[in-house]
Amino acid sequence: MTSIQHNLQQVRERISAAAARCGRDPAEITLLAVSKTKPAGAVAEAAAAGQRCFGENYVQEGVDKIQALGNSALEWHFIGPLQSNKSRLVAGNFSWCHTVDRLKIAARLNEQRPAALPPLNVLIQVNISDETSKSGIMLEELNELAKEIVLLPRLTLRGLMSIPAPEADYARQLAVCQRLAAAFDALKTDYPTVDTLSLGMSDDMEAAIAAGSTLVRIGTAIFGARDYGAAHNNN
The answer to the question of residue 209 being in a domain is yes
| Residue 206 pLDDT greater than 60, yes or no | yes
Give me the pLDDT at residue 56, please: 98
Looking at the domain assignment, is residue 91 inside a domain?
A: yes
199: in domain: yes
| Count, residues in the chain | 235
Number of domains making up the chain: 1
pLDDT given at position 134: 74
Burial class (CB in 10 A: 0-12, 13-18, 19+), 129: middle
Asked if the structure places residue 14 within a domain, the reply is yes
> Which residue segment(s) compose the domain that 52 sits in?
3-225
Residues 153-159, mean pLDDT to the nearest whole number: 98
pLDDT band at residue 174, thresholds of 50, 70 and 90?
Answer: very high
Please compute, for residue 56, the number of CA atoms within 13 A of its CA located in the half-sphere on the CB side.
Answer: 28
Residue 213, in any domain of the structure: yes
Residue 231 lies in a domain: no
Q: Torsion over CA of 214, 218, 223 and 229, rounded to 10 degrees? A: 130
Query: Is 235 part of a structural domain of the chain?
Result: no
Mapping DSSP to helix (H, G, I), strand (E, B) and coil, where does residue 156 land? strand
Cα–Cα distance, 229 to 1 (Å, whole number): 29
Mean of pLDDT values over 55-74: 97
- pTM summary value: 0.95
Closest CA to 66 of 98, 38, 94: 94
Helices 142-149 and 103-112: crossing angle, nearest 10°? Answer: 20
In this structure, is residue 234 part of a structural domain?
Answer: no
Give the CATH number, domain containing residue 118.
Answer: 3.20.20.10
Least confident among 65-74, 127-136, 149-158, 186-195 = 127-136
Q: Tell me what pLDDT residue 226 has.
A: 79
Q: Is the pLDDT of residue 234 over 70?
A: no
